[in-house]
Amino acid sequence: MHFSVTEIVHDLVRLHLKPGDTAFDGTAGNGHDTLFLAQCVGSTGRVYAWDIQPLAIERTAMLVATHGISWVELTLGNHAELDRLFGATFQAATFNLGYLPAGDRTVTTTTANSIRAIRAAAERLVAGGILTVLAYTAHVGGHDEANAVGELLQSLEPTEFEFHEELFASGRTAPPRLFVLRKRQVT
């Protein structure tokens, strides 16, 4: 039984990662997804984690260091600049759109940057890879951002990608939306 949407994401992503793989966390936040990805890929793997807020990078660095993890590369920067990772491909990519929990709620992801980052991450997925976007919609522009992400992912070539959206009836006025994109295996 799942107790959080994050657990659902982790259960989905876990099926696509093994030791030695590479993963991308486009919104490091408090570091929980980064830590999870690092644990999945192990010390022979690599995790790239980005965030636009210094506090998020600090929190993530402390969390992974506490767990003795050194195979995470943290970048203070906009996830829309993913093209800076020359040639990197991923078995998994995750995004949590919205604001940093227990942080400055006026600093949020934006539709334009998120679309650019998610498109770039989808292009870097290897066959059999997975991309998840957990879109929190309570911030200003959150609904529009989630709708744009859904439209982007749904528009990708269906012979190359499998798209699914999970809706949550949580009783909240702005429940999160989970988008899942899998890159099909070459046959």
Residues 6 or more apart whose CB falls under 8 angstroms from that of 159 comprise 184
Q: How confident is the model at residue 106 (pLDDT cuts 50, 70, 90)?
A: confident
pLDDT for 8 equals 93
State the Cα–Cα distance between residues 2 and 170, nearest whole angstrom: 13
Name residue, tokens 């993913």: 82
Contact between 124 and 161 under an 8 Å Cβ cutoff? The reply is: no
pLDDT for 86 equals 77
The residues with which 94 forms a beta bridge, in sequence order, are 25, 132
Q: How confident is the model at residue 5 (pLDDT cuts 50, 70, 90)?
A: confident
State the Cα–Cα distance between residues 65 and 158, nearest whole angstrom: 40
Contact between 126 and 89 under an 8 Å Cβ cutoff? The reply is: yes
The CATH number given to 5-183 is: 3.40.50.150
User: pLDDT tens, 113-122?
Assistant: 999 999 999 9
Q: How confident is the model at residue 171 (pLDDT cuts 50, 70, 90)?
A: low
Residues 6 or more apart whose CB falls under 8 angstroms from that of 100 comprise 29, 30, 51, 53, 55, 56, 107
Q: Among 85, 125, 97, which Cα is nearest to 27's?
A: 97
Q: Among 23, 39, 186, which Cα is nearest to 89's?
A: 23
pLDDT for 11 equals 96
The full set of domain ranges for the chain reads: 5-183
Contact between 69 and 95 under an 8 Å Cβ cutoff? The reply is: no
- Residue 120, helix vs strand vs coil: helix
User: pLDDT tens, 33-69?
Assistant: 999 999 999 999 999 999 999 999 999 999 999 999 9
Share of the chain above pLDDT 90, in %: 73
Of 80-84, 90-94, 115-119, where does mean pLDDT reach its minimum?
Answer: 80-84
Of 15-19, 24-28, 167-171, where does mean pLDDT reach its minimum?
Answer: 167-171
State the Cα–Cα distance between residues 184 and 187, nearest whole angstrom: 9
- Mean pLDDT for the stretch of residues 14-25: 98
* Number of other residues whose CB lies within 10 A of the CB of residue 62: 11
